[in-house]
Amino acid sequence: MIRATGAILATIAALWAFAVAGAPADAMQGAIQKILYVHVPAAVGAYLGFLTTALCGALYLRSGAERWDRLAISAAEIGVVFCSLNIATGPIWARGTWGHWWAWDPRLTLTLLLWFIYLAYLLLRGFTEGSERTARFAAVYALLGALAIPLNYFAIRLFGGAAMHPDNLQRGSLGPGMGWPFALGLLAATAAFAHLLALRFDLESRRVEEARALAQERRE
């Protein structure tokens, strides 16, 4: 599984790097526009992570099967990494084109709030003792966090600042020659998410088994 996802990721990433290198520079923004091929895919990875976390949390509460919790923590950590990448690349691009490092733009605010929710999720896991209790608390918080996404979206639509981000990309809104690297970037982010999830899930499973074996040893 891990080998297969790794091979897929390596292939797509190589194609993506090649396509980005060959993509034309933007007529207005120049080379800095190429950050698009990292910035948007990172957002896709982040949302994939957070949706998976909430879904696995719900499945855990329903079934009580521990593997769902292992998947949830794996997805949350990867989601936070992607979200950090998205939030870090944004200001670099913004400074070059909007002239500010930061703007309280609706989509930016939404992503930032999401980032804080899942940081809190990870802290909650870190501060709770007992694996079963941790899993339960984390699942409940992930569900509340998933609920906060549409609510935040609704709130921002009502009173957010002026929109700086374009509306969702429509066909033809990118310049000629930019579609391929962009699409490959989205694919690469999805492949990277899948591969990291498989790796992290494996690691978590080993950790749990190791901890169990240690506890057993101590009892004996």
Partner 1 sequence: MNAFLAVLWKDLLQEWRSRDRLVAMLVFSALVIVVFHFALPGGAGAQTRSFAPGLLWVAYVFAALLGLGHAFAIELENDALAGLALAPAERGWIFLGKWAANVAILGLAQAVTAVVFGVVFEVDLLPVAGRFALVAVLGNIGLCAIGTLAAAVAVRTRFRELLLPLLVLPLLWPVLSGAVRATADLVATGRMGFEPIQLLIVADAAYLIVSFVSFEYVLDE
| Site residues for partner 1 per CB under 8 A | 61, 113, 116-117, 119-120, 123-124, 127-129, 133, 136-137, 139-141, 143-145, 147-148, 151-152, 154-155, 158-159
Count of CB atoms within 10 A of residue 67's CB? 15
Count of CB atoms within 10 A of residue 79's CB? 26
Rounded least distance, CB 154 to partner 1, Å: 6
Whole-Å CA distances, 19 to 47, 122, 123, 196, 213? 24, 35, 38, 23, 48
Contact 52, 60 (CB under 8 A): no
Rounded least distance, CB 12 to partner 1, Å: 33
Query: In 3D, which of 112, 115, 106, 108 has the Cα closest to residue 156?
Result: 106
Rounded least distance, CB 141 to partner 1, Å: 7
**145 versus 185: smaller Cβ distance to partner 1:** 145
Cβ neighbors of 203 (< 8 A, separation 6 or more) are 74
**129 versus 220: smaller Cβ distance to partner 1:** 129
144-154: burial string, b at 16+ Cβ within 10 Å, e else: ebbebbeebbe
Rounded least distance, CB 158 to partner 1, Å: 5
Cβ neighbors of 214 (< 8 A, separation 6 or more) are none
**16 versus 121: smaller Cβ distance to partner 1:** 121
**117 versus 198: smaller Cβ distance to partner 1:** 117
Cα 46 from Cα 115, distance rounded (Å): 9
**36 versus 108: smaller Cβ distance to partner 1:** 108
**106 versus 185: smaller Cβ distance to partner 1:** 106
Q: Helix, strand or coil for residue 174?
A: coil
Rounded least distance, CB 130 to partner 1, Å: 9
Rounded least distance, CB 199 to partner 1, Å: 28
